[in-house]
């Protein structure tokens, strides 16, 4: 019965709030990351984006006026991640706050010698557990309309949201029944340790060093590569690519051939 009502609601939203084709085509044609999708995938993405926008509240900070183009730019890329996972993967939170540019975050940090001090960081995005997702529009727009290999703040922050579906962001989102925790942990841990070792030895890495921060950041960064530069991720570690392919249920390498 609940499923029936949900289906009815979904159909109603898709009918009532359908994104106009002209608006949709105009925005997605500007996003290179979406150009490799088939027409069937693009149609599915438009439906998911419609549902996403009906469920999420996108607000501007510092008087930033959120236009329909901005809403579609953010939502379409977020929904690319859940193209084969479903809209429920983004359940449990509602608000997306968009700043005009990088935003300042002040945190209390305890140093190794036990001193407590305030640290100020400038961030392009942040995802709170069960809370809002925060983005800098300057970073979103520059990384959306031009393909930056391995860099996409929307993919990064929404990967954290997927990771947080089963607790804190620890690099392991809820896996599918055909996957195993052992395979995932072993594959990703090995690659994470290898990356850290390389960086400790001042060796070059094809993967953004930020991935070495912790397993949660590793998952978010490799997700950025999976969607924007899968060949680099595949060369870095084919097994990691394979795990992400199974998790996202997408073969992104095919799109870039």
210 versus 256: smaller Cβ distance to Zn ion: 210
Question: Which among 96, 53, 88, 86 has a CA at the least distance from the CA of 248?
Answer: 86
Residue nearest to Zn ion (CB): 220
Give me the least distance between CB of 153 and Zn ion, in Å please. Answer: 9
Helix intervals (H) in the chain: 2-16, 21-28, 39-55, 68-81, 137-144, 153-163, 181-200, 215-228, 230-236, 238-248, 252-255
Give me the least distance between CB of 170 and Zn ion, in Å please. Answer: 12
For the segment 208-237, give every residue that binds Zn ion (CB under 5 A): 217, 220
Number of residues that bind Zn ion (CB under 5 A): 2
69 versus 213: smaller Cβ distance to Zn ion: 213
74 versus 220: smaller Cβ distance to Zn ion: 220
130: left (phi over 0), alpha (psi -120 to 50) or beta: left
75 versus 220: smaller Cβ distance to Zn ion: 220
Which pair of structure tokens corresponds to residue 186? 């072993």
Give me the least distance between CB of 3 and Zn ion, in Å please. Answer: 34
14 versus 172: smaller Cβ distance to Zn ion: 172
For the segment 28-87, give every residue that binds Zn ion (CB under 5 A): none
Give me the least distance between CB of 19 and Zn ion, in Å please. Answer: 29
Give me the least distance between CB of 26 and Zn ion, in Å please. Answer: 30
Question: Which among 12, 15, 140 has a CA at the least distance from the CA of 75?
Answer: 140
CA 168 to chain centroid = 16
In angstroms, rounded to a whole number, what is the distance separating the alpha carbons of residues 52 and 72? 10
Residues that bind Zn ion (CB under 5 A): 217, 220
């Amino acid at each position: 019965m609940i499923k029936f009502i949900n289906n009815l609601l979904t159909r109603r939203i898709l009918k009532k709030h359908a994104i106009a084709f002209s608006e949709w085509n105009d925005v997605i044609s500007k996003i290179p990351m979406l150009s490799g999708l088939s027409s069937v995938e693009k149609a599915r993405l438009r439906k998911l984006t419609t549902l996403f926008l009906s469920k999420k509240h996108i607000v501007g900070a510092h008087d930033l006026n959120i236009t329909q183009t901005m809403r579609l730019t953010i939502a379409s890329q977020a929904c690319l991640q859940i193209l084969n996972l479903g809209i429920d993967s983004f359940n449990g939170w509602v608000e997306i706050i968009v700043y005009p540019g990088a935003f300042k975050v002040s945190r209390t940090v305890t140093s190794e010698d036990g001193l407590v001090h305030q640290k100020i960081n400038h961030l392009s995005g942040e995802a709170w557990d069960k809370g809002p997702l925060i983005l800098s529009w300057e970073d979103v727009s520059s990384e959306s309309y031009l393909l930056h290999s391995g860099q996409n703040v929307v993919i990064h922050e929404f990967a954290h949201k997927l990771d947080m579906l089963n607790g804190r962001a620890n690099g392991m989102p809820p896996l599918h029944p055909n996957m195993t925790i052992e395979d995932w942990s072993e594959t990703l841990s090995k690659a994470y340790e290898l990356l850290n070792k390389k960086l400790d030895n001042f060796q070059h890495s094809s993967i953004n060093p930020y991935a070495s921060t912790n397993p949660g950041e590793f998952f978010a960064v490799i997700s950025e590569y999976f969607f924007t530069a899968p060949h680099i991720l595949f060369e870095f570690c084919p097994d990691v690519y394979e795990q992400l392919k199974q998790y996202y249920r997408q073969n992104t390498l095919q799109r870039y051939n």
